[in-house]
C-alpha cells in the first residue's frame, strides 16, 4: 500500500510538471491531476498523515512550477476537508469503508460527488489565491469551474485506465 502510494506520488508530480503544466486550452483551462493522489489515499490513513502528504505533494509541484506555497496551501485545504466530504457524500451513519476509494468499490455516483467536491475546493483555493483579488471574481470563477471539470474528466479517465493499480 505504501509503495503504491509512493510511486503514485512521484508519477503524478512528474506528469503534472512535465505535461499538464504545459497544456493550455483557450487560456482558461489548467488541469491539476496531481490531486488524484490525495483522492486515492486509503480511508484508514491517519488524519495527520493525510494533511502532511497533501502538503508534500503540493510543495513538490510548487518547486517545479515556481509558485512556492500555492499548490501546497490548496492541497492542504483539500485534504483537511476530505473526511467531512466523505461523511457528507456517504449518506447515513458514516462510512465504514476500507482500502482505496475507487469507482469499483464505492460506485460511480459516490466517487463522482466525492471527487467533484474535493477538486472544486482545491481549485477554488488555488485560483483565487493565485489571483488574490476579487476584482476579477467572475473571470476567476469561470476558470475554476472549467478547470475543475477538466481535472474531474482526467480523474475518471485515469480511474478507467486503472492508473491506481500502479
Residues that bind another protein (CB under 8 A): 17-18, 21-30, 47-48, 51-52, 55, 58-59, 62-70, 72-73, 76-77, 80, 127, 129-133, 136, 139-140, 143
Q: Residue 6 or residue 137: which is nearer to another protein going by CB? A: 137
Q: Residue 15 or residue 103: which is nearer to another protein going by CB? A: 15
What is d(CA 53, CA 47) in angstroms, rounded to the nearest whole number? 10
- CA angle in degrees (0–180, nearest 5) for 77-60-78: 15
Per the DSSP assignment, residues forming a β-bridge with 120 are none
* Ramachandran region, residue 69 (left: φ > 0; alpha: ψ -120 to 50; beta: rest): left
44, HSE (Cβ side, Cα atoms, 13 Å): 6
Q: How near is the Cβ of 91 to another protein at its closest, in Å?
A: 24
Q: Residue 54 or residue 152: which is nearer to another protein going by CB? A: 54
Q: How near is the Cβ of 81 to another protein at its closest, in Å?
A: 10
Q: How near is the Cβ of 42 to another protein at its closest, in Å?
A: 18
Q: Residue 22 or residue 165: which is nearer to another protein going by CB? A: 22
Q: How near is the Cβ of 51 to another protein at its closest, in Å?
A: 6
100, HSE (Cβ side, Cα atoms, 13 Å): 20
Q: Residue 82 or residue 164: which is nearer to another protein going by CB? A: 82
What is d(CA 86, CA 149) in angstroms, rounded to the nearest whole number? 20
Q: How near is the Cβ of 64 to another protein at its closest, in Å?
A: 4
CA dihedral 154, 18, 25, 136 (to 10 degrees): 100
Amino acid at each position: 500500500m505504501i509503495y503504491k502510494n509512493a510511486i503514485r506520488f512521484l508519477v503524478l508530480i512528474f506528469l503534472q510538471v512535465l505535461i499538464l503544466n504545459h497544456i493550455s486550452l483557450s487560456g482558461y483551462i489548467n488541469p491539476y491531476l496531481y490531486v488524484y493522489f490525495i483522492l486515492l489515499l486509503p480511508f484508514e490513513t491517519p488524519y495527520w498523515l493525510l494533511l502532511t502528504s497533501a502538503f508534500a505533494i503540493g510543495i513538490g509541484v510548487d518547486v517545479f512550477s515556481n509558485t512556492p506555497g500555492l499548490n501546497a496551501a490548496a492541497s492542504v485545504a483539500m485534504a483537511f476537508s476530505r473526511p467531512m466530504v466523505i461523511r457528507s457524500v456517504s449518506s447515513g451513519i458514516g462510512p465504514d469503508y476500507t482500502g482505496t476509494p475507487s469507482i469499483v468499490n464505492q460506485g460511480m455516483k459516490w466517487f463522482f460527488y466525492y471527487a467533484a467536491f474535493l477538486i472544486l475546493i482545491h481549485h477554488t483555493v488555488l485560483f483565487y489565491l493565485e489571483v488574490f483579488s476579487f476584482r476579477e471574481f467572475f473571470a476567476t470563477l469561470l476558470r475554476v469551474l472549467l478547470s475543475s471539470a477538466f481535472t474531474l474528466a482526467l480523474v475518471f479517465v485515469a480511474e478507467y485506465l486503472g492508473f491506481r493499480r500502479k
